[in-house]
């Protein structure tokens, strides 16, 4: 039973990987424990968002990913 983590943009660069698998179910505290301290610090930023099952979470601390789901870590968006 696993959740697929997908890291995008600068978060991928910081983690040194594009994706990984973590045990399911996955909640906010488990996500923070599953990544490096540097990445966890970035995830705590209001500018970083999380999508679970293709839906961006309004409250990322409410993360509740189940077996087979994909969780995407979305970096801050820039541009104009």
The structural domains of the chain, ordered by start, are 2-74 (3.10.20.30)
What pLDDT was estimated at residue 77? Answer: 77
What is the pLDDT tens value at each position of the chain, 80 positions in all? 999 999 999 999 999 999 999 999 999 999 999 999 999 999 999 999 999 999 999 999 999 999 999 999 999 876 55
What pLDDT was estimated at residue 20? Answer: 96
Distance CA(22)–CA(24), nearest Å, equals 7
What pLDDT was estimated at residue 29? Answer: 98
What pLDDT was estimated at residue 79? Answer: 58
Q: Is the peptide bond before 25 cis (omega within 30 degrees of 0)?
A: yes
């Amino acid at each position: 039973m696993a959740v697929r983590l997908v890291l995008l943009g600068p978060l991928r660069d910081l983690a040194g990987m594009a994706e990984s698998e973590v045990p399911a179910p996955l909640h906010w505290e488990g996500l923070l424990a599953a990544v490096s301290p540097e990445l966890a610090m970035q995830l705590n930023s209001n500018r970083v968002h999380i999508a679970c099952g293709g839906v961006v979470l309004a409250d990322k601390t409410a993360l509740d990913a189940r077996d087979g789901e994909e969780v995407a870590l979305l970096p801050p968006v820039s541009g104009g």
